[in-house]
Structure 1
Amino acid sequence: MFLIDRDAQIVHAVNAFGQLTSGHVRALFFKGLSDTPADRRLRILTDRKYLARLERPNPGGNKGGRGQFIYQLGPMGWKLCRGDSRYWPYRAVNPHTLSIASAYVAIKSLEEGGRFEVTRYATEPKNWRTIGGVELRPDLYVEVVDHQRQQSYAWWVEVDMGTERKAQIKEKLERYYHAWEHSADSGFETWPLVVFLVPDVERQDELQRLIRQGTEDAQALFEVRLSNEFPPAGLSM
């Protein structure tokens, strides 16, 4: 069945991130409009099996009304994006996946003033890179141009849920540093800044301590920010 351009963009975005909330879809494709047009298109795409939806439990309990719907690929959307491979939907809401999407939506919000433009983004596994013999698996890769300053920014975003142990974080930091040492072979004109997005100040302090334990050169490769403070105003990283 033929899809209008925006519907196809919605389906491909859901494919890229795995899951999106209705709020993500509104922010990315229906900015400045009421909820009605987005809800109508999401309902149509769901009825036509391009999308399937899960309901996020309402934190207020049954008294608070229904929770927000989460959208993922339906059978038709899977076929559109992934061909004839076996349909394998999520069985539950994935908070990490949704947090990655929220980070991207926050970056896209920079475009509202016209000064910034997101020129490229990639999610797993398309953003994975092997550099210097080590594999990097960030959650999100984004390139942004600041038209006013005529400057480009590139980020590898790591959405930290506070569940990885210190040894895992240290290994991840070492991989990025090793890749940076071999950056001449990477093809990057601007080496991406690795931004860890963390849920609270305690976790932010913990990751910053781990970064300071590395070599002085390595420390400049990383930034640790609270999820609700990203991206920073003016991109002054």
Structure 2
Amino acid sequence: MKLSDAQLSILELLKDCRYASTRQLADLYFANSHSPRTATRRANLATKTLFEAGYIARLKRRIGGRRAGSGSYVWSITKTGLKHLRLNDPQIQVRFRNRYEPTAHHLEHTLGITQVYVELKKLERLGKIELEAFSFEPASHRSFAKFTQNVILKPDAYTKLVVGNEEEFIFFLELDKDTESLNRIVNQCKKYIQYFNTGIEQRETGIFPQVVWVVPDRKRQTAIENRIQEEINSYWTLFEVINLEEFPDFVIGDSDE
């Protein structure tokens, strides 16, 4: 079956991000449409073809409910879809895909990371940045030794970008939905500090990525900032806490510092 470039891009994305909504696919691959409604319609046609071919699956759960319209559908790649991609890339693993519906929390979190990627691609289309790399889990993971134990650091994403055609920035991204305790947030920060102290990332890239916590609101932002300053103040500069709405301005604003 011959697929369009957009349909192939959708499969590639779903292979990496696990879940994406129709609205996110419209923003990514049909942004050149005359209107958002047209973009959604084109995304619907693309996903319809992929769905009928068995390349993607549609979740029962919809983002925003039925009133949100067709843009609220959520998609994942199937084993058949992975096999199709493997025709051009034999290194792709055709692994078993969980047929069970994800929990609401897991889905919201995963779609949130996909949305961060969408926001970066929007900035790239506007000429604000050049997105050199973006890795979803598990490609974003890092492993290191702590005494005799192997530790795996699991950022939600890793990204490298250029702002203003000059400055390169590298981030580990952590998406927070105000569902984890502050103790757990701090413990994750301490794991980043342990990895920082190994020097592995610095030897490979020359710099340690800034760890950016993306949070839902200012109340949560303040709570996490205060807790980090209280418990790991000497490593405060490794971390940044922002809300999702501020994320585009944060990325572009770094070029002015």
Rounded to whole Å, the distance in 2 between the matches of 1:30 and 1:86 is 30
Q: CA deviation at 1:167?
A: 2.2
Q: Is the 8 A contact 1:19 1:71 kept in 2?
A: yes
Q: CA deviation at 1:162?
A: 0.9
Answer 1 or 2: which has greater helix percent: 2
Q: Is the 8 A contact 2:62 2:74 kept in 1?
A: no
Which AA in structure 1 matches 2:117?
Answer: Y
Aligned to 1:110: 123
- 1:56-96 per-position Cα deviation (integer Å, ceiling 9, x unaligned): 4464x66x364611111134114345644333235146111
SS for the counterpart of 2:112 is: helix
Aligned to 2:49: 44
Q: Is the 8 A contact 1:153 1:190 kept in 2?
A: no
Q: Is the 8 A contact 1:154 1:192 kept in 2?
A: yes
Q: CA deviation at 1:3?
A: 3.1
Rounded to whole Å, the distance in 1 between the matches of 2:249 and 2:144 is 28
Which AA in structure 1 matches 2:77?
Answer: L
Rounded to whole Å, the distance in 1 between the matches of 2:222 and 2:56 is 40
- Structure 2: where are the runs of 5+ without partners? 86-91
Aligned to 1:32: 32
Rounded to whole Å, the distance in 2 between the matches of 1:184 and 1:85 is 30
Q: CA deviation at 1:177?
A: 1.2
Q: Which moved more, 1:68-77 or 1:16-25?
A: 68-77
Which residues of 2 match residues 78-157 of structure 1 at below 5 A? 78-80=82-84, 83-92=93-102, 94-131=107-144, 133=146, 134-148=151-165, 150-157=166-173
2:77 paired residue among 48, 51, 73: 73
Q: Is the 8 A contact 1:15 1:73 kept in 2?
A: yes
Rounded to whole Å, the distance in 2 between the matches of 1:13 and 1:90 is 20
Q: Is the 8 A contact 1:155 1:193 kept in 2?
A: yes
- 1:96-120 per-position Cα deviation (integer Å, ceiling 9, x unaligned): 1101101111111111232411011
- 1:164-207 per-position Cα deviation (integer Å, ceiling 9, x unaligned): 11221121111111211222565122321111011122211111
Q: Percent identity?
A: 25
1:219 maps onto 2:236 in alignment:
yes
Q: Residue 215 and residue 87 in structure 1: after superposition, are their counterparts in 2 closer, same or farther (change >3 A)?
A: closer
Aligned to 2:13: 13
Q: Is the 8 A contact 1:131 1:185 kept in 2?
A: no
- Structure 1: where are the runs of 5+ without partners? none
SS for the counterpart of 1:88 is: coil
Aligned to 2:253: 235
Aligned to 2:88: none
Per the normalisation by structure 2, the TM-score is: 0.82
Q: Which moved more, 1:225-234 or 1:193-202?
A: 225-234
Count of paired positions: 234
Per the normalisation by structure 1, the TM-score is: 0.88
Q: CA deviation at 1:7?
A: 1.7
Rounded to whole Å, the distance in 1 between the matches of 2:209 and 2:68 is 42
Which AA in structure 2 matches 1:49?
Answer: G
Rounded to whole Å, the distance in 2 between the matches of 1:80 and 1:142 is 27
Q: Is the 8 A contact 1:53 1:70 kept in 2?
A: yes
Q: Is the 8 A contact 1:46 1:74 kept in 2?
A: no
